[in-house]
Structure 1
Amino acid sequence: MSKKGTVFNVQRFTLHDGPGIRTEFFLKGCPLRCIWCGNPESFKSYIQPGVFQNKCISEEKCGDCKIVCPSENILIFKEGKLSAIDSSKCIRCMKCMAICPSDAIKQWGKIMSVEECMNEILKDKGFYEKSNGGVTVSGGDPILQIDFALQLFKSCKEEAIHTCFESTFYGQWNEIEKILPYTNLFISDLKHMDSSIHKKYTGVGNDLILENLKKLSKKNVDIILRIPVIPGINDSMDNIKITADYILNDMNNKIKVLQLLSFMHLGEEKYKSLGMNYNMNNLDFNRKIFQNKIIEIQQYFISKGINCTIGTKEQN
């Protein structure tokens, strides 16, 4: 039987998460809560409604969502327009989304079977072959839907399609081991080397993540590491030096490349649609000075013999 997963986005012709032209599946559910994350719709593992008040026709002129909603006092209106949905009471039937004529209510996530995913994948098999591309599973974190990802990758392997697994690696090693034989490339972040600081900004410590990446480096697989460089949080040279030591000593530098990803303000509208606060607006920094610092960080990693780029372009 074809396993099913909860997917919040499918991107075709993507070029950033793995080599060549790829189809990327973003799965819902993540064990971390990074405060800089631009995809808050990925946090929860279940389908959610999101509200975009600027699209609402108004309660007076429409009000269809109120008519179909099975419960009272869930839909919250402000200045006559739908502004929020009480997530503590919502049963996520999505009737409001289905009837909304103006797309003011968005469904974050849908259920897809492996067979449905493969139907999308095979549309572009010729592009994968010409560009040495393939399929990437990301999130959220697919580690929370490992059995779905496993069956999907098994199906990809039957079609000789390259596979990439992008994860936080905050999970049990025996779960990660399941997917090793079917994965060509792994991508993961090093967000901060101090476990207490890591927990402050992501909700969890980093001990399990670092141990899993250390184990992964001993396997015959390709690994891309990334640092989402956040001003004032993980861009100190002390943290950078400890990161380099970890890559060199604990992972024996067994990585294809280390990619530095510059912080950008992303996802604010999506946070608002879910009734969540976006906490990065208060991060004040000079973009030019920050970019120069990222170049300095890159040069340090290169000086230590670590292949390092700015952005997601791979270099060998």
Structure 2
Amino acid sequence: MPGGVKNAPGHLLVNNKLVVTMSDKKGIVFNIQRFTIHDGPGIRTEVFLKGCPMHCKWCSNPESIQPNRQLGIYPAKCISKDKCGACLKACPKEGKPLEFSPEGIITGSNSQCLSCMRCAAACFTHAIKSWGEVMTVEEVMEAVMKDETYYKKSGGGITLNGGEVAVQWEFALEILKACKNKNIHTCVETSMHCSPDIIQKFYKYTDLIFTDIKNMDSEVHKQWSGAGNELILKNIEQTAKAGVKMVIRIPVIPQINDSDENLRKTAAFIRDHLGSSVVQIQLLPYRKMGTEKYASLGLAYPMGEDYKMPERSVWEANLLRIRNMLLEEYHIPVVAGSNERIEMSEL
């Protein structure tokens, strides 16, 4: 900009005055994935924010739940502190909170850890991984803008995901505003388990919202997801009344929420309360994913080792049966899986 000199992220020095050009708010991002095609129309960049108030037992991203940065530990990649020791040399904490096996293999860290992530940066074997990076809005936008040409050609854009986006809502909102300033299509994936006021703040800057309906029975919902469904359903209804377009996802988990009774209640709620705001309803299969990430955080996989999925041919046939049942009985735009294209004309 003529007459302007960059002074700090998000600021410009113009005629000796500091002018804010982009929010310098910071947030914690645990992944930025380019060229995604399942979470919104076209080719997208997906930004994953840490922090989630829910605890779905089938969650495949356990690193997203805690809002703070965390160490992921992969002992099989460690060559021992005696042969290497780079992590110990990098750690600034007196007493060294890293923990090791008798053989000198990294096993974790204790409560004295500062979460500075210097050990992860120093570990060249990737036995220590940083789950979460502090980023500014400008830094996120630098990553997003790398694929601007693809967005324009495919009708794509950015998708904010989590965790739960509403946990870092101020940071998320500034990213959405920055995208709108660049005419980039925006999607937000949210559990809707947050204050209605927060969800309302997203409406002006969001083209499409993805959310789940996991179970219509609030007690069962709480048992498997850590929270009841009243606030979620209230926010979904509020979003529909505001005229914001949504994709509703139904994770179909055998023996948990896959009864015809629950699925019919879900379909009736969508038909009777959400109207034309819903552009697509996706029936998603359960997949056992993220077990290594749970282990890296010292956590057991919540679904347990005894929970077994039926063969692929069985669950695929069941999803098609459910789709046909809901189409015929409720006349709602339901599909099996997340591969069916969301047409821009629907938005």
* TM-score normalized by the length of structure 2: 0.87
Number of the residue aligned with 2:336: 310
- The separation in 2 between residues aligned to 1:82 and 1:51, in whole angstroms, is 10
- The separation in 2 between residues aligned to 1:72 and 1:34, in whole angstroms, is 36
Deviation at 1:315, TM superposition (A): 5.5
- The separation in 2 between residues aligned to 1:116 and 1:261, in whole angstroms, is 33
Equivalent runs, 1:92-171 vs 2, <5 Å: 92-171=115-194
* 1:8 and 2:38 aligned: no
Q: Return closer, same or farther for 1:119/1:68 CA change in 2, 3 Å cut-off.
A: closer
Number of the residue aligned with 2:320: 295
Alpha carbons 2:188, 2:209 under 8 Å: kept: yes
3-state secondary structure, aligned to 2:278: coil
Deviation at 1:89, TM superposition (A): 3.2
Q: Which amino acid aligns with 1:243?
A: T
* 1:264 and 2:264 aligned: no
Q: Return closer, same or farther for 1:89/1:232 CA change in 2, 3 Å cut-off.
A: farther
Number of the residue aligned with 2:307: 283
3-state secondary structure, aligned to 2:275: coil
* 1:27 and 2:52 aligned: no
- The separation in 2 between residues aligned to 1:295 and 1:315, in whole angstroms, is 19
Number of the residue aligned with 2:271: 248
The structure having more radius of gyration, on CA atoms, is 2
Q: Deviations over 1:103-161 (max 9, x none)?
A: 11000010111111111122211110110001110000111111111111111111111
Report sequence identity in percent. Answer: 42
- The separation in 1 between residues aligned to 2:157 and 2:210, in whole angstroms, is 14
The runs of 5 or more residues in structure 2 that have no matched partner are 1-22
Alpha carbons 2:42, 2:155 under 8 Å: kept: yes
- The separation in 2 between residues aligned to 1:36 and 1:170, in whole angstroms, is 17
Number of the residue aligned with 1:38: 60
Q: Which amino acid aligns with 2:285?
A: S
Deviation at 1:64, TM superposition (A): 2.9
Deviation at 1:164, TM superposition (A): 0.3
- The separation in 2 between residues aligned to 1:66 and 1:153, in whole angstroms, is 40
Q: Deviations over 1:241-294 (max 9, x none)?
A: 110111111223530010011111100000000001113332113223222221
Deviation at 1:37, TM superposition (A): 0.4
Q: What is the aligned-residue RMSD (CA, Å)?
A: 1.6
- The separation in 2 between residues aligned to 1:274 and 1:143, in whole angstroms, is 23
- The separation in 1 between residues aligned to 2:94 and 2:321, in whole angstroms, is 56
Q: Return closer, same or farther for 1:151/1:296 CA change in 2, 3 Å cut-off.
A: same
3-state secondary structure, aligned to 1:148: helix
- The separation in 1 between residues aligned to 2:197 and 2:110, in whole angstroms, is 34
The runs of 5 or more residues in structure 1 that have no matched partner are none
* 1:177 and 2:200 aligned: yes
- The separation in 2 between residues aligned to 1:210 and 1:269, in whole angstroms, is 32
How many residues align? The count is 316
Alpha carbons 1:53, 1:81 under 8 Å: kept: no
- The separation in 2 between residues aligned to 1:116 and 1:98, in whole angstroms, is 19
* Deviates most, 213-222 or 87-96: 87-96
Alpha carbons 1:247, 1:253 under 8 Å: kept: no
Q: Return closer, same or farther for 1:155/1:73 CA change in 2, 3 Å cut-off.
A: closer
Deviation at 1:48, TM superposition (A): 0.8
Q: Return closer, same or farther for 1:315/1:98 CA change in 2, 3 Å cut-off.
A: closer
- The separation in 1 between residues aligned to 2:94 and 2:64, in whole angstroms, is 26
- The separation in 2 between residues aligned to 1:98 and 1:187, in whole angstroms, is 34
Deviation at 1:77, TM superposition (A): 2.4
Q: Return closer, same or farther for 1:296/1:315 CA change in 2, 3 Å cut-off.
A: farther
Alpha carbons 2:213, 2:250 under 8 Å: kept: yes
Number of the residue aligned with 2:114: 91
Q: Deviations over 1:1-26 (max 9, x none)?
A: 42111100001111010000011100
